[in-house]
Chain A
Amino acid sequence: MFEHILLGLHNLSTFQNLMLVLAGTVAGMIVGALPGLTATMAVALLVPFTYTMSPIAGLVTLGAIYMGCIYGGAFSAILINTPGTPSSIGTTFDGYPMARQGRGEEAIVGATVGSAIGGLFGVVCLIFLSPPLADIALRFGPAEYFWVGVFGITIISSLSAGAFLKGITGAAFGILISTIGIAPIGGDVRFTFGMPAMQGGVELIVMLIGLFCIPELLNLIIQGEGQKERIEYKRTKGVLWKTTRHVLSMPGNLIRSSIIGTIIGILPGAGGNIANLVSYNEAKRASKTPEKFGTGIIDGVVATETANNAVVGGGMIPLVTLGIPGAPPDAIIYGVLMLQGLRPGPELFAERADITYTFMLAVGLSAIVMVPVGIYGGRLLSRFVSTLSTRYLVPGIAILTIIGSYAIRNNFLDVILMLMFGVIGFGLRRLGFTAPPIVLGLILGPLMETGLVQAYLTGQAYASPWFALFVNPISWVLIAMSLFSFLWPYFGAIKGRLKGK
Chain B
Amino acid sequence: MKKIAIGLIVLFVLPAIFWSGGAFAAGYPEKPLSYIICFNPAGESDITARIQEQPLKKYFGKDVVIIYKIGGGGSVGWSEMLRSKPDGYTIAGHNLPHIVLQPMERGDAGYKTLDLKSIYMFESTPDLLVVRKDSPYTTLKDFVEYAKKNPPGVVTVGGSGSSTANDLGTAMLNKAAGIKLTYIPFGGTGSAVPALLGGHVTALMTYSTMGIQYAGKFRPLAIASEERMAVLKDVPTFKELGYDIVEGAYRGVAAPSGTPDEIVKKLADVFDKVMKDPEVQKKMDQNGFKTEYMGPEASLALVKKKMVEYEGIMKELGRIKK
Stretch from A16-24, A339-347, A361-369 forming part of the interface with B: A339-347
Is there contact, CB below 8 Å, between B182 and A457? yes
Instruction: Name the A residues within 8 Å of B7 (CB-CB).
Output: none
Nearest A-chain residue to B209, judged by Cβ: A338
From A181, A185, A269, A328, give the contact of B162 (CB < 8 A).
A185
Nearest A-chain residue to B196, judged by Cβ: A138
Q: Report if A182-B151 is in contact (Cβ < 8 Å); known contacts: A140-B198, A197-B80, A458-B200.
A: no
Is there contact, CB below 8 Å, between A186 and B191? no
Is there contact, CB below 8 Å, between A200 and B42? no
Is there contact, CB below 8 Å, between B73 and A460? no
Is there contact, CB below 8 Å, between B73 and A187? yes
A186 to B183, CA, bound (A): 11
Instruction: Name the B residues within 8 Å of A450 (CB-CB).
Output: 187
Stretch from B102-110, B117-125, B227-235, B247-255 forming part of the interface with A: B102-110
Q: Is A461 close to B, CB under 8 A?
A: yes
Q: Report if A200-B70 is in contact (Cβ < 8 Å); known contacts: A324-B190, A341-B283.
A: yes
Q: Is B69 close to A, CB under 8 A?
A: yes
Is there contact, CB below 8 Å, between A335 and B69? no
Nearest CB of chain B from residue A150's CB, rounded to whole Å: 18
Q: Is A265 close to B, CB under 8 A?
A: no
A189 to B106, CA, bound (A): 7
Q: Given known contacts A187-B102, A197-B110, what 4 new A-B pairs fall within 8 Å (CB)?
A: A187-B106, A200-B72, A411-B76, A458-B182
A51 to B279, CA, bound (A): 15
Task: Give A132-147 as 1s and 0s: 1 = Cβ < 8 Å from B's Cβ atoms.
Answer: 0000011111100000
Is there contact, CB below 8 Å, between B47 and A338? yes
Q: Is A217 close to B, CB under 8 A?
A: no
- Name B residues whose Cβ lies closer than 8 Å to a Cβ of A: 40-42, 46-47, 50-51, 53-54, 66-73, 75-76, 79-80, 102, 105-111, 150-154, 156, 161-163, 182-187, 190-191, 193-195, 197-201, 213-214, 216, 283, 286-287
Nearest A-chain residue to B49, judged by Cβ: A335
From B41, B183, B186, B283, give the contact of A44 (CB < 8 A).
B41
Most buried by B among A322, A338, A450: A338
A289 to B255, CA, bound (A): 61
Nearest A-chain residue to B164, judged by Cβ: A187
Is there contact, CB below 8 Å, between B182 and A460? yes
Nearest B-chain residue to A195, judged by Cβ: B110
Instruction: Name the B residues within 8 Å of A461 (CB-CB).
Output: 150-151, 153-154
Is there contact, CB below 8 Å, between A339 and B71? no
From B185, B194, B213, give the contact of A268 (CB < 8 A).
B194
Is there contact, CB below 8 Å, between B70 and A460? no
Instruction: Name the A residues within 8 Å of B213 (CB-CB).
Output: 323, 343, 345
Is there contact, CB below 8 Å, between A200 and B194? no
Instruction: Name the B residues within 8 Å of A410 (CB-CB).
Output: 67, 69
Is there contact, CB below 8 Å, between A199 and B72? yes
From B156, B191, B193, give the contact of A458 (CB < 8 A).
B156
Nearest B-chain residue to A142, judged by Cβ: B200
Is there contact, CB below 8 Å, between B72 and A339? no
Is there contact, CB below 8 Å, between B201 and A458? yes
Most buried by A among B42, B72, B199: B42
Q: Report if A341-B41 is in contact (Cβ < 8 Å); known contacts: A181-B72, A196-B110, A269-B191.
A: no
Instruction: Name the B residues within 8 Å of A341 (CB-CB).
Output: 283, 286
A189 to B163, CA, bound (A): 13
Task: Give A319-358 as 1s and 0s: 1 = Cβ < 8 Å from B's Cβ atoms.
Answer: 0001111001001101100110101011100000000000
A335 to B283, CA, bound (A): 13
Instruction: Name the B residues within 8 Å of A187 (CB-CB).
Output: 73, 102, 105-106, 161-163
Is there contact, CB below 8 Å, between A197 and B76? yes
Q: Is A395 close to B, CB under 8 A?
A: no
Is there contact, CB below 8 Å, between A325 and B76? no
Q: Is A201 close to B, CB under 8 A?
A: yes
What 6 pairs across the A-B complex have the smallest Cβ distances?
A200-B71, A196-B110, A460-B153, A199-B72, A141-B200, A138-B198
Nearest CB of chain A from residue B133's CB, rounded to whole Å: 13
Is there contact, CB below 8 Å, between B68 and A44? yes
Nearest CB of chain B from residue A345's CB, rounded to whole Å: 7
Q: Is A194 close to B, CB under 8 A?
A: yes
Q: Is A184 close to B, CB under 8 A?
A: yes
Is there contact, CB below 8 Å, between A339 and B214? no
Nearest CB of chain B from residue A405's CB, rounded to whole Å: 15
Nearest CB of chain A from residue B186's CB, rounded to whole Å: 7
Nearest B-chain residue to A135, judged by Cβ: B198
Is there contact, CB below 8 Å, between A182 and B191? no
Nearest CB of chain A from residue B140's CB, rounded to whole Å: 21
A200 to B156, CA, bound (A): 28
A163 to B214, CA, bound (A): 49
Is there contact, CB below 8 Å, between A268 and B191? yes
Q: Is A454 close to B, CB under 8 A?
A: yes
A322 to B286, CA, bound (A): 18
Q: Report if A184-B187 is in contact (Cβ < 8 Å); known contacts: A323-B214, A457-B182, A458-B201.
A: yes
A334 to B209, CA, bound (A): 14
Nearest CB of chain A from residue B272's CB, rounded to whole Å: 22
From A48, A181, A183, A335, give the contact of B71 (CB < 8 A).
A181
Is there contact, CB below 8 Å, between B194 and A324? yes
Nearest CB of chain A from residue B139's CB, rounded to whole Å: 23
